[in-house]
Amino acid sequence: MNRFAKAFRTARLNSGRTFREIANYVGKSIGYLSDIDSGRKNPPEREVVLKIEEFLGVRDGHLARIADEVRMTVPNNLKGLVTDSPQLGQFLFMGQALLREDPEHFSAQLEEYLESMRKLMEDRGLEPRELENLFCDLFDKKHYRYSGQVVAI
């Protein structure tokens, strides 16, 4: 269970609110909130976390801070890649900032970059599907959600 899940569960139990009440207030499903509460899903978008804080009476902003920290944590399976290639780490962190700032523009730019990578792989006789499978193995797809959609590779 991640730190956000623990903090969310504590705040929810302290408030006496049910998943149904929270779900109705923030516009998410009960199952989604249960997955967050148990740590099966990462924290929701910042706007949703702020609504949860408001509804549960969390006044100090600690849920939002913890959610931001959890989102910024590099999964263990990526640490080696980032260590081996500092440029990849820089690309990922800069990309995350740009994705928050302007998701539509960043998505278009990322798609252009990925298309050039596909072309390079094909030129070298590598199957682009191999890259997709590698990313699916290394990355949890929920990290690539924006505006309710998954960024496809």
CATH at residue 64: 1.10.260.40
107-126 residue pLDDT tens: 888 888 888 888 887 887 87
**Please, which pLDDT band fits residue 92 given cuts at 50, 70 and 90?**
confident
Total domains in the fold of the chain = 2
Residue with the larger pLDDT of the pair 115 and 10: 10
In this structure, are 53 and 95 located in the same domain? no
104 shares its domain with 129: yes
Same domain, residue pair 68 and 80: no
Instruction: Round to whole Å and give the CA distance between 43 and 4.
Output: 7
The confidence band for 6, taking pLDDT boundaries of 50, 70 and 90, is very high
Confidence of residue 4 (pLDDT cuts 50, 70, 90): very high
Q: Which of 51, 57, 48 is nearest to 17 (CA)?
A: 57
Q: Are residues 80 and 68 in the same domain?
A: no
Pair 144, 82 in one domain: yes
Q: Are residues 44 and 104 in the same domain?
A: no
Model pTM score: 0.54
Same domain? For 67 and 10 the reply is yes
- Whether 54 and 82 map to the same domain: the answer is no
Cα–Cα separations (whole angstroms), residue 17 to 26, 44, 46, 64, 120:
13, 18, 20, 19, 53
Most confident of 13-17, 80-84, 95-99, 121-125: 13-17
User: Which DSSP symbol is given to 34?
Assistant: H
At residue 104's C-alpha, the angle toward residues 127 and 2, to 5°, is: 80
**Full domain range(s) for residue 43:** 3-72
pLDDT in tens, 27-76: 999 999 999 999 988 899 999 999 999 999 999 999 999 998 887 776 66
Residues 99 and 53 in one domain: no
- Residue 139, pLDDT score: 45
Q: Which residue has the higher pLDDT, 45 or 81?
A: 45
* 38 and 1 Cβ atoms separated by less than 8 Å: yes
